[in-house]
Copies of this chain bind each other. A is one copy, B any other.
């Protein structure tokens, strides 16, 4: 996909929100950060992706704040909010007639917890709609067929808190070999290796760093180990908008699981804002 200029005001707004969070009402510093952030816009060309531009911007914010991982404490408090629904999800899974369907719904819902495109998220609202048609799982029969034939599954994670919900889906994919890929550095609330271990994903399956340091998967940044897996896996599952933006043009079959959280992704995916989707890139609308 080509870069959508609509990502500029959105990402600048994210930068403002971060600068506001961590500057204790210091308007001069906020203005300084905004000026540097806006200067960086000049370097964008149509081959940029939103997540790549976001990395540039977040680096400027972090440099000015003098903090290397500003979202850490927010991730931890979000995690507490996310944990509350685990007992409910467990009951849903136990009562489910189609555990894979339910687990995918749970995993998609987790994608709402996003400090980038949608920092005013409401987990409860999503949970209440988990069984509704606000989720499009029409690709599920194809996914199931693929799953039956598959041996190796690469699961590209997205946000830390959301990964707690991904665990339900990972469990349904076992005993197939599942490898869970994480970012190689903290960016926004994206999941890192340390985060994955903290919530016990490494006890379920192998966890590797992808090499990507943006809030998505930039294959140019990825490690040979990740690329080998990416090329050889029978199924690739990619969570979230960031992975969708960066892998949408890829030819290899990928199942994208995400919530549509902005107009750019609505246009790209063909789904309405707010929709939760299992999108298969071999069946683009």
Within 8 A of B (CB), among A1-60: 2-6, 8-10, 12-13, 15-16, 19-20, 27-28, 30-31, 33-35, 38-39, 41-42, 44, 46
Q: Is the CB of A41 within 8 A of B46?
A: no
Q: A35-B41, A38-B41 are in contact. List 18 more A-B contacts (CB 8 A).
A: A2-B27, A3-B27, A5-B33, A8-B12, A8-B16, A9-B9, A9-B12, A9-B15, A10-B13, A12-B12, A13-B13, A27-B46, A28-B46, A31-B44, A35-B44, A38-B38, A38-B42, A39-B41
Bound Cα distance A13, B39 (Å): 16
For A2, list chain B residues within 8 Å (CB). 27
Could you tell me the distance between the alpha carbons of A88 and B155 in the complex, rounded to whole angstroms? 58
Chain B contacts for A30, CB-based, 8 A:
5-6
Closest residue of B by beta carbon distance from A48? B31
Which residues of chain B are within 8 angstroms of A41 by Cβ–Cβ distance? 34-35, 38-39
Q: Is the interface of A mostly helix, strand, loop or mixed?
A: helix
Q: Whole-angstrom distance from the CB of A112 to the nearest CB of chain B?
A: 21
CB distance from A12 to the nearest CB of B (A): 5
Chain A residues proximal to chain B, CB less than 8 Å: 2-6, 8-10, 12-13, 15-16, 19-20, 27-28, 30-31, 33-35, 38-39, 41-42, 44, 46
Q: Of B9, B10, B16, B38, which one neighbours A39 at CB under 8 angstroms?
A: B38
What are 13 A-B interface contacts by the 8 Å CB criterion? A4-B27, A6-B30, A8-B34, A9-B13, A9-B15, A9-B34, A10-B13, A12-B12, A12-B38, A13-B13, A35-B42, A35-B44, A38-B41
Given the complex of chains A and B, what is the CA–CA distance between A27 and B5 in angstroms? 7
A101 → chain B closest CB, angstroms: 35
Bound complex: CA of A284 vs CA of B130, how far in Å? 47
Q: What B residues does A34 contact at CB under 8 A?
A: 5, 8-9, 41
Given A27-B46, A28-B46, A46-B31, decide whether A9 and B4 contact each other with a Cβ distance below 8 A.
no
Q: Closest CB of chain B to A27's CB: distance in Å? A: 6
